[in-house]
């Protein structure tokens, strides 16, 4: 299990928290967490969704190119965030 140097929590705990923050409208806080885990496939997927929510399609598509998902896979970003969360919790 990889632990975050900043929080001491596992990266999956950090990313679940980021999803929850995004779902509650705290985009900036969620974005900071995603940035802190750059290179992790799920963090990069989350990063893509966050930029989709922000309305920055070009930046969002950049992050989608780094993962096994596409911009068009989900119409509703909240549903996509739920899918990211369920990838950790089953």
For residue 11, what is the DSSP state?
H
Q: What is the pTM of this model?
A: 0.88
CB neighbour class for 79 (10 Å; exposed up to 12, middle 13-18, buried from 19): exposed
d(CA 44, CA 38): 6
pLDDT band at 89 (very low <50, low <70, confident <90, very high): confident
Is the predicted pLDDT of residue 3 greater than 50, yes or no? no
DSSP secondary structure code for residue 10 in this structure: B
Q: Identify the DSSP state of 26.
A: -
Summarised one tens digit per residue, pLDDT across range 38-87 is 999 999 999 999 999 999 999 999 999 999 999 999 999 999 999 999 99
Phi, psi torsion values for 10, nearest 5 degrees: -70, 155
Does the pLDDT value for residue 6 go beyond 90?
no
pLDDT of residue 1: 38
């Amino acid at each position: 299990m990889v632990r975050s140097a900043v929080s001491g929590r596992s990266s999956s705990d950090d990313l679940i928290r980021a999803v929850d923050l995004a779902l509650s409208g705290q985009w900036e806080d969620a974005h900071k967490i995603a940035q802190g885990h750059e290179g992790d496939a799920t963090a990069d997927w989350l990063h893509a969704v966050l930029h989709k929510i922000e309305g920055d399609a070009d930046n969002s598509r950049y992050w989608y190119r780094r993962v096994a998902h596409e911009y068009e896979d989900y119409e509703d970003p909240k549903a996509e965030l739920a899918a990211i969360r369920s990838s950790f919790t089953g």
